[in-house]
Amino acid sequence: MTDTSRTSSGVPAEPGHDEAKLEFTELDWRRFIASLGENPDRSGLRETPMRVAKAWKHWASGYGQDPAEILKVFEDGAERYNELIVVRGIPVYSHCEHHLAPFFGTATIGYVPEGRIVGLSKLTRLVDCFARRLQVQERLTSQVAETLMHELQPKAVGVIIRCRHLCMESRGIRTPGEETITSAMLGELQTNLGMRAELLALAREK
């Protein structure tokens, strides 16, 4: 049976989102280090389990955030504006759910308001919220776009993400410098080719 539950932002809930969490403790990280053939008690590694446990709480902090609460919407200032609003170069730092390896890059978000706009810094926070979860880039792109569409109800939303994946660069095929580009186009951006071309041009790196 498929779980069709959704968060308050209208985005499908993460699998296991409501299940009890099991804390991955410092002892677990000591065991992990030992499983690699290292000595977790040597001076350089003695505090590593504590640091790693703390780091993963930060890297996975997106699970404790509600994307809908991040977006502060304003009506003042949007009365006569009906063109694209684009924020480019939003940093993306996430971890691949297949290998727990980092992937990183930038996101571009564009939208055409329908009487309401959102604080620009909130777009960065929205990307960060979803990026600080175990992810695949395709889902990350869709989640950001769908949340904006649901909460802001604009005429159009477009999200473009460009990332390098260390699971490809440091293992397996080992292709350093390769970028993966994903996009999600909602509302009028699905049918308005001129608007889509404008967003892609604005998102293009110089």
The set of catalytic residues is: 96-99, 137, 165, 167
Distance in angstroms (rounded) separating the CA atoms of residues 84 and 67: 22
Closest CA to 127 of 156, 154, 100, 163: 163
Closest CA to 11 of 105, 142, 132: 142
Distance in angstroms (rounded) separating the CA atoms of residues 2 and 15: 10
Contact of 104 with 164, CB cutoff 8 Å: yes
